[in-house]
Amino acid sequence: DTGVSQDPRHKITKRGQNVTFRCDPISEHNRLYWYRQTLGQGPEFLTYFQNEAQLEKSRLLSDRFSAERPKGSFSTLEIQRTEQGDSAMYLCASSPPGTGGSPLHFGNGTRLTVT
């Protein structure tokens, strides 16, 4: 069972630099989500893809953030001009087709530290 894979696991960057994270969902899952988690908080929704279409974006997702899923398989999340407030765990999740109650399957996340 190959679960959701995220790369890299850790990223340290200087303020102002751009960073890109990758997520490979479970292969038969057409739905892909990005979440952000800060210390002491639960995951916060950032954006959602169904196949290659980005269908929802949180207002948390400022214009410095962009996500893509060009072929409906893996996804990338890019943060431009990083700020210290961007330091967080970035979690990717996927779920299978269908409506209603399907749990999200999370990857182990990418921990971003902006210095």
Partner 1 sequence: DQQVKQNSPSLSVQEGRISILNCDYTNSMFDYFLWYKKYPAEGPTFLISISSIKDKNEDGRFTVFLNKSAKHLSLHIVPSQPGDSAVYFCAARAYNNNDMRFGAGTRLTVKP
Cα 12 to Cα 15, 55, 69, 84, distances in angstroms = 10, 30, 24, 11
Instruction: Determine which residue in the list 43, 69, 75, 77 makes contact with partner 1, applying CB under 8 A.
Output: 43
How crowded is residue 112: how many other Cβ atoms within 10 Å of its Cβ? 21
Applying the rule CB under 8 A, the residues between 17 and 36 that interact with partner 1 are 31, 33
Instruction: Determine which residue in the list 45, 66, 72, 73 makes contact with partner 1, applying CB under 8 A.
Output: 45
CB 32 within 8 A of CB 75: yes
99 forms part of the interface with partner 1 (CB under 8 A) = yes
Residues that bind partner 1 (CB under 8 A): 4, 31, 33, 40-45, 48, 55-56, 58, 91, 93, 99-101, 103-109
